[in-house]
Structures are given as C-alpha cells and as structure tokens.
Amino acid sequence: MLFDYLPIIVLIIISTGLAGIAVLLGHLLGPRRPTLRKSVPYESGMRPIGPGARRMPVRFYLIAVLFILFDIEIIFFLPWAVVFKKLGLFGLVEMFIFIAILLVGYVYAWKKGALEWE
Amino acid sequence: MPNDLWLSIGAILPIIVLAVWACLLLLVDLFIPAQRKGWTASLAAVGLLITLAVILSRLGQSQSGFGGMVMVDNFANFLSILLLASGLAAIALSHDYLQRTGIERGEYYVLLLFSISGMMLMGMASDLIMVFLALELLSIPLYVLAGIAVPRLNSEEAAIKYFLLGAFASGFLVYGTALVYGASGSTSIAKIVQVIQAGQHNLTLLLAGAGLILVGLGFKVAVAPFHMWTPDVYQGAPSSVTAFMAVGAKAAGFAALLRIFVLAFPVVSLDMTPVLWSVAALTMILGNFVAIAQKNIKRLLAYSSIAHAGYILMALTPYGQSNVSADSVASALFYLVAYALTNFAAWAVVIALEQADERGLELSDYAGLGRKQPALAAAMTVAMLSFTGVPPTLGFVGKFFLFRTVIEGGFIGLALIGVLTSLVSAYYYLRVVVIMYMQEGEPVVRRDGWLYATAFVSSIGVVALSIFAGPLIALASRAILNLF
C-alpha cells in the first residue's frame, strides 16, 4: 500500500534537490558586488524607516478579529451560492439562520464600540 | 423540508432553545445598564429553566437525529438536567460575587449559557466529530470565563494556560478521531460498532485512536498525568467560574468518555483496561496526596477535584465487561450528581468568605467560622464529609456504588486504592473542619441570600438524598446509553 506513494516521495526528493542545486549554483557562480542600496530589504523601493517589529495600536487586532469573523461569512457564502438551486428552500432558510447568528455578533460588536476608531 | 429534519431539530430542541436564548440575551444585555446586570442574571436563569422545562416535557423518549450525529437518550437527558441545575447554581453563586469584585459583565451569563449548551451537546454526541464540536463549544466560553477577571494577572494566566493546554488536548482528540476513522471507516459510533461486529476493523489503529481520545478527554476532566493545568486555572479563575467548571467540564468530559468507550470500544478493552486502571489509580493517589500540602482553599479544592476525577474514572475501568458496563455508567452518573451537589455547597462557602484581591482564601481564614457563622460552617462540614465519603452524605453513597461496580468488575486492587486514598483525603478535608471549629479567629463573611441558599440547599440535598438515595440510583440506572 505504501508503495503507491513512492512517486510522491521521488518527486519530493527531486524537487528539493533541484531547488537546492539551483540556489547553490547561483551562490557559487554568480558575481557578488554588494553596495548599500543593493543590500536593503526592498531594492529600488522606498527607504526603510525603522525596524519591522514596531508597536502597533491594539485596535488593529480588534479589526483583524472582526475581519476574520466576517471573512468566514464570505467563505460560506461562496459554495452556498454555487449549489443554491440544488438546495432550494432548505438552503435559503439555513443561510438566513447563519446570517442571523452573524448579525447578533455584528450588532454586539457595533454597540460595544468595536467599529469606532476613537 | 424533509420530515426527518424536523425530527432531528426536535431531538436537539433543548440545545436550540438555550443557544437562541443566549444569542437574544447577548443583544438584550446591550441595553441593560451596568448597575442592573442582575436582570441579565435573572434572564439567563429563566433561559435555563425554560430549557429544563423542554427536557422534562419529553423525558423517557429516545430520539436519534441528523443521521446518527446526536442521540437523545435517558443518559443525555440525565446529564442535561444535571448541567442545567449546575448552571442555575452557578448563576446563584455569581451575581453578588461578580458585583462586589467589580467584574460583572453581561457577557458572563451569555458565555455560561453557551458553555452549558456545549456540555449538553457533549452528552448527546454519538459521532466523534460531534464530540469535538461540542468540546469546542463548551471549552471556548470557559476559556473566556476563566479570564473574565482581567486585569487581575492570575486570571489572565489561568485563561491563557487553560486555552493553550485545552487547544493541545483538542488536538489529541482530533488525532484519535482520525485514527479511529482510519481503523473503521466511520466517525459515527453506531457505524463503528457495525464495522467492529463484522470484524472489518484495524485493531492497532483503533487502539491508538482510543488511547488518544482518552488523552484528549482526560485533559478536560483533569485526570493525572494530564492534570497540570487544574490547580493554576482553578485558582486563577473567578471562584464562581471555578465552581461551575469543576462540575460542568467534568460531567461533559465523562459523558463523552462513557458513551464512546462503553459503546464503541469494548473490543479494545483488554488493552485499555490496564491503562484506565493505572490512570485512575495515579489520579486518586496524586490528587489526594498533593492536596494535603495545600494552604489555599481553591488549590485544595482543585486537587480534590482531580482526585474525584480519578474516582469517576475508576468506574470506567470495567467498561469492557458487558454485565458490569451498565452499572459502570450508572455509578459514574450517580457520582457526578453527588460531586456536583457537594461541590456547590463547598464553593458557596468559599465564595462567601472570599474578599477583594483574593484575600480570605487561606485555610487559616476559616478559623472561628464555627462560632461566628454556625450555619455556613455546618454546610462546609457537610461538604467536606461528603467529599471524604462519610455517611450520611451523598458522597458516601456515591463512593459505595463506585467501589461496588469496580469490585464487581474484578478490580479489587483498584477499589482498595480508592478506599485507602479516601482515608488519606480525610486528613485534609477534616482539617478544614478542625480549623473552622477548634481555632479562634474572626472570619469576614459576606452576607448574600443566594449564596446562603445555594450552600444550604446543596448541603441539605447532600444529606437528604443520601438517606433517600433509592430513586436517584434508580434514575441513574435507567440512564442507559442507546446505540440506535
């Protein structure tokens, strides 16, 4: 049974091997003339203005949580829309229940002031 | 809509009622002013009572729903009633306590309701996927509840610790589920039983899956060696949350363990019984011996809850013997009731003595309680005697029933360990009694009607039900598991 997976293992070995060889060859053969401009994180981009791990207002996290919440809603909507006709009335009612549950969370977040920036 | 869908919805109607009520309460609470959160508490209690009425109106029926995903049998109903009653007790303990510690928020009661609905689902779940869903539904509100006393540091610590270890434990449960699926080709308990009867299962995978499920649920019910989080979480969480968590999470976890093991896994009992035997023995020994060293009453009760998880797990040890397994379920359920009542009596007294900034939680703070508050001291004494297993308390009847089941299953050594560790536990339980009555002190006690009512009703229940234990035992014996 495990023999069936042999092609996958071979593929993994070959692809990691190839990737390793490519990186190694570039490293060995390529000329290196580093300048200050070339070694910044974004070459030809804007000039970095400080370390990446800066302190952020905690409000962003709240926004992120809300985003995830309502993003999942969309993920559920999509397959539902695809099989909408097949599901018929049942699907419609189900989706309304789903939206009603989400709406409870939305109203809660709204009233608690999670959507206001200040 | 298809007819069986309506039947399925009818089967889980209590949970739907409770969840819808919780959602509405969340909205209603937004319009209740902060000084009037007692209204939220009363509304939450009303929701629990309505759910209880729905269950009581349909007792005795056994219904399966959603293609065998849930099974509403006597076992599930028994647990639901226990959980709803625990929820009511928890609300009675909470309101005054939360108010005076300044952490009363309406979300508290909503989360409590959501958690109870998850626990009820756990009792009904007859599909491993459903068990996982119910476990998450009951756990996530509990994580938040454990941390609801922010910015108190150890409450935050409790929440984070509980969350991380709980998520870890869920991973074990899911892994176990996957392996059982690999072994039998289904996650439905009824189908797994069919496959096993036909002899088409993979025994090694099934055994590994059963072991991992035991680990995952063992975390939740806090049996050794998966108990590490318990003392810190029980100590850090607000006392009213701990009181509820100790009963609810345990009852739900054992419900799933009983249903899965008794119905689906008798085939691996030859290998699982020694594991259950040693886990139960280790839990009883560790819980009781470490509790001796505790000076803080919340930590003491946390270790005591670990020990009691060991006693209940003991009932599961002979699950593979078909002539004992019914007694095994009945004695575990009965002990859960005994534990719940005793637990609420004890925590009501603890909460009455607790003051702001976690003062009043040392054992020495109980000195002089016997003289100053004889009634509360009596309630605490009854609880401590019941935890020890001294007649005439429910704890004694429960332990008697448990030991009888274990001996019936032929595990006299395990029963002996249970009896001996009960003797050890007398040392630290009775020490509380000694401190209350024989040491001089000026305990500060909070007067609150609901708190007192919970303490007295539970402690009187502990004594009265032990004298008239017959009907309760009969109820527990009728709470059998249905497969189809």
What is the secondary structure of B221-290 as a DSSP string? HT-TTS-THHHHHHHHS-HHHHHHHHHHHHHHHHHHHHHIIIII-GGGHHHHHHHHHHHHHHHHHHHHHH
CB–CB of B121/B135 below 8 Å?
no
Residue B424 pLDDT level (bands cut at 50, 70, 90): very high
What mean pLDDT do residues B163-179 have? 95
- Who has greater pLDDT, A36 or B22? B22
Coil, strand, or helix at residue A85? helix
Adjacent-strand bridge partners of B44:
none
Is 60 exceeded by the pLDDT of residue A53?
yes
Lowest mean pLDDT among A15-29, A64-78, B219-233, B417-431: A64-78
Rounded CA separation B155/B239 (Å): 10
Q: Peptide bond preceding A7: is omega within 30 degrees of 0, i.e. cis?
A: no
Residue-wise burial string across B177-194, b where 16 or more C-beta atoms lie within 10 A, e elsewhere: bebbbebbebbbbbebbe
The CATH class, in words, for A7-43+56-111 is mainly alpha
Is 90 exceeded by the pLDDT of residue B384?
yes
Rounded CA separation A68/B227 (Å): 33
Q: Which of B382, B408, B404 is nearest to B395 (CA)?
A: B382
Residue-wise burial string across B237-246, b where 16 or more C-beta atoms lie within 10 A, e elsewhere: bbbbbbbbbb
Rounded CA separation B92/B111 (Å): 15
Is 60 exceeded by the pLDDT of residue B1?
no
Q: Peptide bond preceding B225: is omega within 30 degrees of 0, i.e. cis?
A: yes
DSSP secondary structure string, B112-130?
A: HHHHHHHHHHHHHB-BHHH
Q: How many CB atoms lie within 10 A of CB B169?
A: 21
Q: A39 φ, ψ to 5°?
A: -95, 10
ipTM: 0.82
A21 CB contacts (<8 Å, ≥6 apart)? none
Adjacent-strand bridge partners of B70:
B65, B125
Place of tokens 């200040």: A118
Tokens of B2: 């298809």
With CB atoms and an 8 Å threshold, state whether B26 touches A104. Answer: yes
- In chain A, helix, strand, coil percent, each to 5? 70, 0, 30
Q: Which of B64, B182, B69 is nearest to B132 (CA)?
A: B69
The single-letter code of the amino acid at B88 is: L
Question: How do B63-65 and B70-72 pair as beta strands?
Answer: antiparallel
Q: Where are the domains of chain A?
A: 7-43+56-111
With CB atoms and an 8 Å threshold, state whether B1 touches A108. Answer: no
Q: How many CB pairs under 8 A join A and B?
A: 15
At B37-91, the pLDDT tens digits run 889 999 999 999 999 999 999 887 788 888 889 999 999 999 999 999 999 999 9
What mean pLDDT do residues B371-375 have? 91
Chain B residues lying within 8 Å of A112, measured CB to CB: 30
pLDDT of residue A112: 87
Residue B452 pLDDT level (bands cut at 50, 70, 90): very high
Q: How many CB atoms lie within 10 A of CB B167?
A: 13
With CB atoms and an 8 Å threshold, state whether B27 touches A104. Answer: yes
pLDDT of residue A56: 79
Rounded CA separation B163/B159 (Å): 6
At B197-237, the pLDDT tens digits run 998 888 999 999 999 999 999 999 999 899 999 999 999 99
**Sign (positive or negative) of CA dihedral B469, B471, B476, B477:** positive
Chain A residues lying within 8 Å of B114, measured CB to CB: none
CB–CB of B210/B176 below 8 Å?
yes
Tokens of B272: 């699982």
Is 80 exceeded by the pLDDT of residue B159?
yes
Residue B172 pLDDT level (bands cut at 50, 70, 90): very high
B170/chain A closest Cα distance in angstroms: 21
Rounded CA separation A41/B185 (Å): 51
Answer whether A115 touches B (CB < 8 Å).
no
Average pLDDT score over chain B: 92
Answer whether A112 touches B (CB < 8 Å).
yes
Coil, strand, or helix at residue B355? strand
Adjacent-strand bridge partners of B362:
B296
Rounded CA separation B281/B269 (Å): 17
Q: Nearest chain B residue to A107 by CA: give it.
A: B27
Is 80 exceeded by the pLDDT of residue A50?
no
With CB atoms and an 8 Å threshold, state whether B23 touches A107. Answer: no
pLDDT of residue B350: 94
Place of tokens 């969840």: B19
With CB atoms and an 8 Å threshold, state whether A90 touches B30. Answer: no
CB–CB of B96/B451 below 8 Å?
yes
Coil, strand, or helix at residue B449? helix
CB–CB of B450/B93 below 8 Å?
yes
CA dihedral of residues B444, B445, B447, B452 (deg, nearest 10): 180
pLDDT of residue B484: 65
CB–CB of B440/B368 below 8 Å?
yes
Rounded CA separation B110/B141 (Å): 9
With CB atoms and an 8 Å threshold, state whether B30 touches A107. Answer: yes
Answer whether A103 touches B (CB < 8 Å).
no
Answer whether A113 touches B (CB < 8 Å).
no
pLDDT of residue B2: 64
Q: Where are the domains of chain B?
A: 3-478
Residue B344 pLDDT level (bands cut at 50, 70, 90): very high
What mean pLDDT do residues B340-354 have? 94
- Who has greater pLDDT, B475 or B109? B109
Adjacent-strand bridge partners of B188:
B127
Rounded CA separation B53/B23 (Å): 19
Cα distances from A107 to residues B31, B69, B204, B373, B421, in angstroms, run 12, 32, 50, 47, 52
A26/chain B closest Cα distance in angstroms: 42
DSSP secondary structure string, B4-21?
A: HHHHHHHHTHHHHHHHHH
Chain B residues lying within 8 Å of A90, measured CB to CB: 1, 5
With CB atoms and an 8 Å threshold, state whether B5 touches A90. Answer: yes
pLDDT of residue B89: 96
Adjacent-strand bridge partners of B359:
B355
B110/chain A closest Cα distance in angstroms: 12
Is 60 exceeded by the pLDDT of residue A86?
yes
With CB atoms and an 8 Å threshold, state whether B23 touches A111. Answer: no
The single-letter code of the amino acid at B146 is: A
